[in-house]
Amino acid sequence: MNELRKIVIYSEVGWDFLDQRHHHLARYFANKGHNVEFVERVVSRVPTPSLLLKIIKPKNKLHTATSKKIPNNISLRRSLFLPHVYILFSIYNYLVWLVIERRRQKGAVVYSFVDNPYVVGGRLSSLATYEISVFDIIHNWWHFPWKAKQHKKQVERCLGLFSKIVTDSPLIQNQLLERGLNSHLMMPGVDGIWFDKSATKLAIAPVFFGNLRSNSDLELVSKIDDNFELSLYGLIDESIAETLSKCAYKGQLDPSVLVNELSNYNVIILPYNKSEFSQSISPAKYFESLATGSLVVTGSDLGHLPGANTYVLNVDHSSGDFFERLTEAMQDHSVIKADQVEFAREHTWQKRFDKLTEYLLND
C-alpha cells in the first residue's frame, strides 16, 4: 500500500472528552489531507444503571465537557455498536457492521481503540472491504479494573482479527512478542504548546489535570491537598466527588487554555495506584507533564516509562518522610528542569505518528 486516504477511528471516548491519543491521531491524519471519520463512544461493556442515568440526566459541572473545534477533514458520528455480552447483542452488532460500517469502511484504514471485534466484522471479517485494520492497545485489557474476564476474552479475539497491532506500553509489547505477535510500540507524545509552562516560585504549588476515577490514588491526592492546596482540572468521577470536595476544582479547559493555567503551578501529580493494571500504563499526560518543566510526583512505579527513573519523584505517601522528600526534590528540581524539558522534546506526537505511518504502509 502506497498511501492512506480514509481513516475510520473507533473510539471509546467522545470528541469533546479530554484530549487523548485518539484526538491527536485524528488531527494528524486530517492535517495530512486524509478524510477521518471519528466514531464516538464505542461501548464494550454493559452500562450500569448509574451510567445509563448519567447519559439520560444533564451532567453536573464535574462532568461537563468543553466543545472542541472539529478540524477540516474530520467528521463525527455516534457508534451504534452494543457490548457483545448477550447473543441478541451479537446478532445486532453483526447487522450494524454489515449494513452500515462495512460500507463506510471500504478502502479505508480501520483504526480501533476498543476491544470490540465487531468493528472489523467479527467472524464475518472475510467480507470486509477495508484496506488495513489496526488494533491500538492503550489499556491492559487482561487486567482491566472492570469486567476483566469479559475484556480478556474480547482482546484475544481482536488479536486474531486485526492485521496490525499497536500498543503504547513497552510491557504489553514484550508480552505480545513472547507470544510471537509482532506489534508497533507508539508511546504517548506531546504537542509544542506544553513546553516550559511551570511556575518559577519556590513554594510548592501542586496541580492535577486529567480524569480522576475511583481507582486513582486518592490518598495521594488528599495528602497533597491537605498540606499544599491542590488544584484539579479536568473530569472527576461522580463516585468520588464528595471525597475530593475540599480540593479546588477548576473545571475542564481546552488544552490551549489549560497550558497557560499550568504556569501557576510547579508540581504535577500522577495519582495512579499500584495495581497490575497501572504497572503497564502509559498516560497520555506523561510527556505533557514532563514538558511543562514542573516536578512530576507519583505514588506508583512508572519505571517502565522512559525518563521516569530520572525525572519523576516516586513517593510513598504513607511514610513519615513524605513531605521532607517532596520539599527536597522541589529544591533540587532546578538542576534537572532544563534537561527534563529537552527530554520531552524527543517525544512529540509528530514523531510518533510519522513512524506509525511508516508501519502502516509497510506490508
Task: Confirm if 327 and 205 have CB atoms less than 8 A apart.
Answer: no
**Residue 52 confidence (pLDDT):** 46
Distance of CA 251 to the CA centre of its chain: 19
Alpha-carbon distance of 24 to 197, in angstroms, equals 20
Complete domains list, the chain, with CATH: 6-189+348-361 (3.40.50.2000), 192-345 (3.40.50.2000)
Task: Confirm if 151 and 310 have CB atoms less than 8 A apart.
Answer: no
Residue 317 has φ and ψ, to the nearest 5°, of: -75, 0
Enumerate residues 6+ apart whose C-beta is below 8 A from 227: 323
Taking the CB of residue 97, how many other CB atoms lie within 10 A of it? 25
**Residue 133 confidence (pLDDT):** 97
Alpha-carbon distance of 238 to 213, in angstroms, equals 8
Using CA atoms, how far residue 218 sits from 48, 214, 215, in Å, is 23, 8, 8
Per-residue pLDDT of the chain (363 residues; tens, 9 = 90+): 456 789 999 999 999 999 999 999 999 999 999 999 999 999 866 555 555 454 444 444 444 445 789 999 999 999 999 887 788 999 999 999 999 999 999 999 999 999 999 999 999 999 999 999 999 999 888 877 667 778 888 899 999 999 999 999 999 999 999 999 999 999 999 999 999 999 988 899 999 999 999 989 999 999 999 989 999 999 999 899 999 989 999 999 999 999 999 999 999 999 998 876 667 789 989 999 999 999 999 999 899 899 999 999 999 888 888 889 999 999 999 999 999 999 999 999 999 999 999 999 886
Alpha-carbon distance of 101 to 248, in angstroms, equals 44
Single pTM value for the model = 0.89
Using CA atoms, how far residue 129 sits from 104, 105, 108, 121, 133, in Å, is 9, 6, 8, 10, 10
Helix (H/G/I), strand (E/B), else coil: 83: coil
Using CA atoms, how far residue 177 sits from 111, 135, 139, 344, in Å, is 21, 15, 17, 27
Taking the CB of residue 343, how many other CB atoms lie within 10 A of it? 17
Write the single-letter amino acid at 124.
L
* SS percent in the chain: helix, strand, coil, step 5: 40, 15, 40
Taking the CB of residue 334, how many other CB atoms lie within 10 A of it? 12
Alpha-carbon distance of 324 to 230, in angstroms, equals 18
Bridge partners of 209? 233
CA-based torsion, 201, 203, 204, 206: positive or negative: negative
